[in-house]
Amino acid sequence: MTHAPAVPVAIDPPYCGCVDCITGYSVPLDQAVPAQLAALLNGTMANRLNSHTDLCLDLTCAVSRGSVPVIRSARVSYHNGGDMDDRLSWDLSPADLGANWQGSA
Ligand SMILES: [Zn+2]
């Protein structure tokens, strides 16, 4: 039996209803919040998504000639083109992205 921590430590496939999701050890992708998506991308939350799951990260950067482009917005999206034609997306904030956010300094 899995001991439930204070916060989820793993992301499971969307609409997962396993015991870990019920106890809060993990969170199904469809219920994840932006900070959890950022944690998945930077490796601090465990990835328990199914193989061949595509997550798309769109970054919008402000570019000034001669300087490092500054990230203005970041969106993670998921699209399961199967029978459900399921689409999910999350807008990540500078706080979500942490050190990877060029414009946060
Ligand atoms: Zn689960």
Domain positions in the chain are 10-94
* Distance in Å, CA 36 to ligand 1 centroid: 15
Q: Per DSSP, which regions of the chain are E strands? A: 10-12, 26-28, 46-47, 55-62, 70-80, 86-92
pLDDT < 50 regions, the chain: 4, 100, 104-105
pLDDT tens readout for residues 25-43: 999 999 999 999 999 998 9
pLDDT for 4: 46
CA 45 / ligand 1 centre spacing (Å)? 14
What is the residue-wise DSSP string for 52-71? T--EEEEEEEE--TTS--EE
Non-local CB neighbours of 50 within 8 Å, separated by 6+ positions: 13
- φ, ψ at 95 (rounded to 5°): -65, -35
Instruction: Give the distance (Å) from ligand 1 centre to CA of residue 104.
Output: 33
